[in-house]
Chains A and B, each alone.
Chain A
Amino acid sequence: MAFFLQNLVNALQWGSFYALIAIGYSMVYGVLFLFNFAHGDIFMVGAYIGFFVSTGLLALASTGVVALPEGVTLALVLVLTLIISMILNSFVGMLVERIGYRPLRNAPRASAAITGLMIGIILETGNLAILGPQRRLFPDLIPTQTITVAGVSITNKKMLIVGISILLTVALHQFVQRSKWGMAMRAMAYDYVVVPLMGIPVNTVALMTFGLGSALAAAGGILYGTAYPVLDPNMGILFGWKAFVAAILGGRGSILGAGVAGFLLGFIEIFVATIFPSTMRNLIAFSIIMIILTFRPHGFFGEPYSARLRL
């Protein structure tokens, strides 16, 4: 039982990252009918921005500008890093939309998809060229405390990661469902052609969608950095692919769906690795997903009719 629960805890943490990245994919796909394949690399950029912001803040704190107890300083650095990096990374996302996607707004979808791939490669190799190939160590912002309950080890990091992920997912869902801008996004997802006629600024909504998705990716990147503190320029590739799968599994444009599917993918991967040899992890995980899609081709929360609009 403890063995099972321990894996459950591990899976929750692992799924959090997929969830946070999948939401960005899903939103862009929902609103603009676009696979933003650069999103995994935007996650990587977010992690690097987090690295620089937190290292900078820690250096600032060590000069003694503000004299606070160590625990408070670290907590403050973490919160500030999250906020600043999310804002900065949302600008990165908006820049990608403005430069990469807007000129292709009316181009065939395949052109836009390969633009995403190219932007991804530019971000990876750009990072490699500017920062060099060496790994970056993400600063330890949360001093690890391990709590053992009935043979299950839970760290404060894990709780925080899962907590923040769920919180952000729910907050974004509320934003899209309740706010006026959210309504505009849903309207665009519903009918791309008619919406501009109603006076909704399509470009602004597109920018906002990218910005929000990228902010979430930055949060994912920072949380990833606290759990797996070794950053490298290619860390976003595989993550991006898998999160994309989760986004499709969740259903087009559904934030909750992407969140749920992200966690589900985390669970499948962890439990496959505990039962079978780890070489079969991806094989079995993706076979399961194929089977699910065979029976639910539109994902968990996707709506069948929306597909006829532009594709």
Chain B
Amino acid sequence: MKHMKFVAVLLIATFVLAACGPAAPATIKIGINAPITGDIPKVGEGTKFAAELWLEEIGGTINVGGKDYKVELVIEDNESKGESAAAVNTKLITQDEVLVIVGPQASKQAVPAGAVANDLETPMISPWSTNPATTKDRPWVFRTPFLDPFQGPVIANFVTDEFGFTKAGVLYDIASDYPKGLAEYFKQAWEELHGEGSVVAFESFTTGDTDFSAQLTKIMDAGAEFIFAPQYYNEVALIVKQAHELGFTGPIVGSDSWGSAETVNLCGEDCYGLFFSTHYAAEGATGATKEFIDKYNAKYGYVPDDVAALTWDSLNIVKTAIENCGKLTGDIKADRKCVRDAMANIKEFHGITGDMTFTEEGDPIKCAVIVRISEEGKFTFYKQVCP
């Protein structure tokens, strides 16, 4: 009898608490701003898959201050356009009322979208954007990858040490933030090493171009020993094939944008043996990185690319920040502020793409990896370069 009474009191207490407790959010909404369609759909796919895998991994909940919250992902397509990415952020923040945004991936979208997130005071973390402008003077915007002012010199040093070249040719998309920024950082680094005029050709094109024969002919005519092409996977295939058809025999070196699962599918044998700098190498990975790769591969049938791995890390940073926040009030403005502060307070993070130390600006300091595309078309670890 006594036992029954206890149960009854407990039941009533639960009901009362549930009914008149503060309007605590039962769910945490995380917005994902990804290029599902447009120029780089494989990047969008990787983002989506990694996010869904992550949701499964955490069992769909995050525990904040002893209370389990259901996590809901709001995945939106930005068509890999800057203006769409900004619109997606506005929608996620004002309409869906997400707590935090993960994405966009490419700098072309992350730079304008970051402005929106910062203005509307919502924490955003870009998993893949390496252009400094994304987070500069934006206290609400963070990122997971290294930055281009670091990546440019990494590539310049690597080519100098590996091949001993002195004359560089660069081919890049002038209408896209990432290639344009990185091409300039590379040029600067290369000229510091080899003197003024050692970048013998600095050629550009605009997004959507498919014929690069004029630029490549110019680069070859200028006597470049190698070509640096910081482009996305669909352009990589075209540039490399056309360079070979024009009789270019030197190496073509890439950057982290090459690290897509689609690069080798589109480029094929033309890309075998080429090098690029990136965030992680799937081949030969160990520990948590390998675990992630195996799970992803088992579920989706291919080895996850950088974008997927960085999205995974970003989501875990978000999770840590939300947990560190300690308490969610249900007032979305206050909670966003709490998560932002918690995110800014993360000083070190051990991710599957390496250990990161965060600066004041919200940028990580981490190592880069030089990857070689093997004769089987696999991304193999070649060398690690740390700051």
Q: A141 within 8 Å of B by Cβ?
A: no
Q: Give the shortest distance, in Å, between B167 (CB) and chain A (any CB).
A: 17
Contact A13 B203, beta carbon cutoff 8 Å: no
> Interface with A: B35-43, B299-307, B325-333, which one?
B35-43
Nearest residue, chain A, Cβ from B41: A133
> Interface with B: A51-59, A245-253, A274-282, which one?
A274-282
Q: Known contacts A133-B36, A135-B266, A278-B206: does B238 contact A230 (CB below 8 Å)?
A: yes
A-B contact pairs, 5 of them (CB 8 A): A128-B37, A134-B42, A153-B246, A230-B237, A278-B209
Q: B211 within 8 Å of A by Cβ?
A: yes
> Interface with B: A2-10, A35-43, A162-170, A210-218, which one?
A2-10
Contact B204 A279, beta carbon cutoff 8 Å: yes
User: 1/0 contact trace for B196-208 toward A, CB 8 Å?
Assistant: 0000000111101
User: 1/0 contact trace for B176-220 toward A, CB 8 Å?
Assistant: 000000000000000000000000000111101111011101100
Residues from chain A with a CB closer than 8 A to the CB of B211 are 10, 14, 228, 270
Task: Name the contact of A132 in the complex, choosing from B41, B174, B204, B221 (C-beta under 8 A).
Answer: B41
Q: B241 within 8 Å of A by Cβ?
A: yes
Nearest residue, chain A, Cβ from B235: A230
Nearest residue, chain A, Cβ from B266: A137
Nearest residue, chain B, Cβ from A228: B210
Bound CA span A121–B180, Å: 31
Bound CA span A269–B214, Å: 9
Contact A278 B214, beta carbon cutoff 8 Å: yes
Bound CA span A132–B48, Å: 15
Q: B265 within 8 Å of A by Cβ?
A: yes
Q: B245 within 8 Å of A by Cβ?
A: yes
Contact A10 B241, beta carbon cutoff 8 Å: no
Task: Name the contact of B205 in the complex, choosing from A140, A153, A158, A278 (C-beta under 8 A).
Answer: A278
Q: Give the shortest distance, in Å, between A209 (CB) and chain B (any CB).
A: 29
Residues from chain B with a CB closer than 8 A to the CB of A7 are 213-214, 217
Q: B335 within 8 Å of A by Cβ?
A: no
Q: B121 within 8 Å of A by Cβ?
A: no
Residues from chain B with a CB closer than 8 A to the CB of A238 are 208
| Residues in B lying within 8 Å of A, measured CB to CB | 36-39, 41-42, 44-45, 174-175, 203-206, 208-211, 213-215, 217-218, 221, 234, 237-238, 241, 244-247, 262, 265-266, 268
Q: A229 within 8 Å of B by Cβ?
A: yes
Task: Name the contact of A232 in the complex, choosing from B44, B174, B217, B234 (C-beta under 8 A).
Answer: B234
Contact A148 B217, beta carbon cutoff 8 Å: no
Contact A135 B214, beta carbon cutoff 8 Å: no
Q: Give the shortest distance, in Å, between A206 (CB) and chain B (any CB).
A: 32
Residues from chain B with a CB closer than 8 A to the CB of A133 are 36-38, 41, 44
Q: Known contacts A230-B238, A232-B234, A278-B214: does B245 contact A153 (CB below 8 Å)?
A: yes
Residues from chain A with a CB closer than 8 A to the CB of B204 are 277-279
Q: A113 within 8 Å of B by Cβ?
A: no
Bound CA span A157–B41, Å: 29
- Interface of chain B: mostly helix, strand, loop or mixed: helix
Contact A6 B262, beta carbon cutoff 8 Å: no
Q: Give the shortest distance, in Å, between A21 (CB) and chain B (any CB).
A: 14
| Residues in A lying within 8 Å of B, measured CB to CB | 3, 6-7, 10, 13-14, 128, 132-135, 137, 140, 144, 146, 148, 153, 155, 157-158, 228-230, 232, 235, 238, 269-271, 273-274, 277-279, 281
Residues from chain A with a CB closer than 8 A to the CB of B44 are 133
Residues from chain B with a CB closer than 8 A to the CB of A158 are 245
Pick from B175, B206, B246 the residue with the most CB of A within 10 Å: B246
Residues from chain A with a CB closer than 8 A to the CB of B175 are 279
Q: Give the shortest distance, in Å, between A59 (CB) and chain B (any CB).
A: 17
- Interface of chain A: mostly helix, strand, loop or mixed: helix
Residues from chain A with a CB closer than 8 A to the CB of B39 are 232
Contact B210 A270, beta carbon cutoff 8 Å: no
Task: Name the contact of A270 in the complex, choosing from B36, B214, B262 (C-beta under 8 A).
Answer: B214
Residues from chain A with a CB closer than 8 A to the CB of B205 are 278
Bound CA span A261–B41, Å: 35
Residues from chain B with a CB closer than 8 A to the CB of A273 are 214-215
Residues from chain A with a CB closer than 8 A to the CB of B247 are 146, 148, 153
Q: Give the shortest distance, in Å, between A232 (CB) and chain B (any CB).
A: 7
Bound CA span A277–B244, Å: 23
Nearest residue, chain B, Cβ from A270: B214
Contact A278 B237, beta carbon cutoff 8 Å: no
Residues from chain B with a CB closer than 8 A to the CB of A148 are 247
Contact A279 B206, beta carbon cutoff 8 Å: yes
Residues from chain A with a CB closer than 8 A to the CB of B217 are 3, 6-7, 10, 274
Contact B203 A278, beta carbon cutoff 8 Å: yes
Bound CA span A271–B175, Å: 21
Q: Give the shortest distance, in Å, between A179 (CB) and chain B (any CB).
A: 35
Q: Known contacts A6-B246, A146-B247: does B213 contact A13 (CB below 8 Å)?
A: yes
Q: Give the shortest distance, in Å, between A294 (CB) and chain B (any CB).
A: 26
Contact A135 B221, beta carbon cutoff 8 Å: no
Given A228-B238, A274-B214, 7 more pairs with CB closer than 8 A: A10-B217, A137-B237, A140-B268, A229-B241, A230-B266, A232-B234, A270-B214
Q: Give the shortest distance, in Å, between A73 (CB) and chain B (any CB).
A: 19
Residues from chain A with a CB closer than 8 A to the CB of B246 are 6, 153
Residues from chain B with a CB closer than 8 A to the CB of A277 are 204
Contact B214 A230, beta carbon cutoff 8 Å: no
Residues from chain A with a CB closer than 8 A to the CB of B237 are 137, 229-230
What 5 A-B pairs have minimum CB-CB distances, sorted nearest first? A10-B213, A133-B41, A153-B247, A273-B214, A133-B37
Residues from chain A with a CB closer than 8 A to the CB of B37 are 128, 133
Q: Give the shortest distance, in Å, between B171 (CB) and chain A (any CB).
A: 10
